[in-house]
């Protein structure tokens, strides 16, 4: 059973998983091309190895990341051939901001105006926020969601005769996903006979492929629109308040019938 009220992935800031650590993540040309083609929203520290200016600026960047709980990618200029980055930024070191695979701003190493932003982490912060929709802290969900594992993996899945499993495929920044999680959280205080496994798909390609396999097995055509979730052998796409009664009824019916998708052969196909 499919419903519509779903979200497509559209961000105006860095993707959420770049707010979870404080590090420079070294990447190569292949990864950079992949990020651009996948329309990721991210930041890159562009440098030249053994360049003293790059080394000095790297310390400023690392201090900025640590202070603001951010992660940037780091890529050598030699690894940027045939990328949007190589076509746009001619001087380095630099910090480059991407929004959905497109460069929106970057530091110009040959510019006297930008020189001050290379000096301190606080100055870099001023540039980072200037004329930008980017935020520095990931907004916390209004719901506690203490009973839901939001970052499941296949290895987390277990089966029990006393419970059924609910599989939720969601996207960071999707408001309908948050509403669904809040509703399911309420149900966990009312019922004890189901477990929830949630897989983020907009920023995790592996989970996206997993969603595709579930949808294919159930003969659903949903693309990467979320939330998409499965209760027993019944699937739902999207979420709104009108669906709450149907979802609750389905959970009860599937538990009473002891139906569970316990065969995962299709995941290995």
User: In the sheet where 102-106 sits, what is the strand order?
Assistant: 23-26, 71-76, 42-47, 94-99, 102-106
What's the rounded Cα separation, in Å, for the pair 146 and 152? 14
Residue of 185, 187, 188, 214 lying closest to 199 (CA atoms): 214
The predicted pLDDT at position 139 comes to 42
Residue that has been written with the tokens 């202070």 in this structure:
67
Query: Residue 18 has what pLDDT?
Result: 75
All domains in the chain, ordered by first residue: 21-129 (3.40.30.10), 154-268 (3.40.30.10)
Please report which confidence band the pLDDT of residue 165 belongs to, taking 50, 70 and 90 as the band edges.
confident
Give the predicted TM-score (pTM) of the model: 0.51
**How confident is residue 227, by pLDDT bands cut at 50, 70 and 90?**
very high
- What integer pLDDT is reported at residue 50 of this predicted model? 87
If phi over 0 gives left and psi between -120 and 50 gives alpha, with beta otherwise, what is residue 183? alpha
pLDDT at position 10 over 60: no
- The answer to whether the CB of 140 falls within 8 A of the CB of 173 is no
């Amino acid at each position: 059973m499919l419903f519509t009220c779903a979200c497509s992935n559209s961000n105006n800031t860095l993707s959420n998983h770049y707010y979870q650590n404080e590090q420079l993540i070294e990447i190569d040309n292949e990864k950079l091309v992949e990020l651009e083609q996948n329309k990721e929203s991210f930041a890159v520290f562009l440098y030249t190895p053994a360049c003293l200016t790059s080394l000095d600026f790297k310390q400023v960047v690392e201090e900025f990341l640590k202070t603001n709980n951010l992660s940037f990618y780091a890529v050598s200029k030699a690894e940027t051939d045939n990328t949007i980055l190589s076509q746009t930024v001619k001087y380095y070191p630099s910090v480059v901001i991407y929004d959905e695979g497109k460069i929106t701003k970057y530091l110009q190493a040959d510019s006297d105006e930008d020189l001050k932003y290379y000096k301190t982490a606080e100055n870099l912060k001023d540039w980072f926020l200037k004329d930008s929709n980017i935020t520095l802290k990931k907004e916390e969900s209004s719901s506690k969601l203490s009973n839901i594992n939001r970052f499941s993996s296949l290895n987390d899945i277990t089966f029990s005769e006393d419970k059924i499993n609910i599989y939720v495929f969601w996207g960071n920044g999707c408001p309908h996903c948050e509403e669904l999680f809040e509703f399911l959280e309420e149900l966990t205080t009312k019922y004890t006979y189901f477990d929830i496994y949630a897989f983020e798909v907009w920023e995790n390609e592996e989970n996206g492929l997993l969603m595709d396999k579930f949808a294919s097995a159930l003969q659903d055509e949903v693309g990467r629109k979320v939330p998409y979730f499965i209760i027993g052998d019944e699937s739902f796409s999207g979420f709104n308040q009108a669906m709450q009664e149907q979802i609750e009824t389905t959970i009860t019916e599937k538990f009473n019938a002891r139906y569970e998708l316990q065969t995962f052969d299709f995941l290995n196909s």
